[in-house]
């Protein structure tokens, strides 16, 4: 019973990550299209947000493929899978943090580029 539940959770995790992967590809296409089809076109990959986001996307894709190969369709024996699991867990969390950082940088970038009144002047320091 425990192994059956474990397998169901593995499949659910893999399917959820597959949906996330598809959404990521659609989002990247939309981001590049919004730059390329703007009039005049906007340069791609010129901000930290762009590079951090692309790095998160590449790392996520590598993590997803390695997880599929190691755990769902195991090409390695139980010993190698057991050694790989802590790395898979750690890098999954680290990639998630990278995605959050990219999203927050994107929100900040948008706020700065839109010229939200007084946003650029705010420094966070208290003046008397």
**pLDDT per residue rounded down to tens, the chain (128 residues):** 798 999 899 999 999 999 999 999 999 999 999 999 999 999 999 999 999 999 999 999 999 999 999 998 888 899 999 999 999 999 999 999 999 999 999 999 888 888 776 666 665 555 54
pTM listed for this prediction: 0.83
Place of tokens 């769902």: 72
* DSSP-derived 3-state class of residue 30: helix
Burial class (CB in 10 A: 0-12, 13-18, 19+), 2: exposed
Q: How many residues does the chain have?
A: 128
> CB atoms < 10 A from the CB of 69, how many?
13
CA distance 45 to 35: 10
Pair 6, 45: CB distance under 8 Å: no
Place of tokens 């992967």: 21
């Amino acid at each position: 019973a425990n192994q059956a539940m474990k397998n169901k959770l593995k499949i659910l995790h893999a399917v959820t990550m597959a949906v996330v992967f598809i959404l990521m590809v659609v989002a990247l296409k939309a981001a590049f299209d919004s730059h390329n089809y703007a009039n005049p076109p906007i340069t791609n990959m010129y901000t930290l947000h762009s590079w951090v986001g692309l790095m998160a996307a590449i790392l996520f894709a590598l993590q997803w493929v390695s997880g599929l190969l190691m755990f769902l369709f195991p090409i390695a024996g139980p010993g190698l899978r057991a050694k790989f699991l802590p790395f898979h867990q750690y890098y999954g969390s680290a990639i998630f943090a990278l995605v959050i950082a990219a999203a927050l940088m994107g929100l900040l970038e948008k706020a700065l580029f839109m010229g939200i009144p007084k946003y650029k002047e705010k420094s966070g320091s208290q003046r008397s």
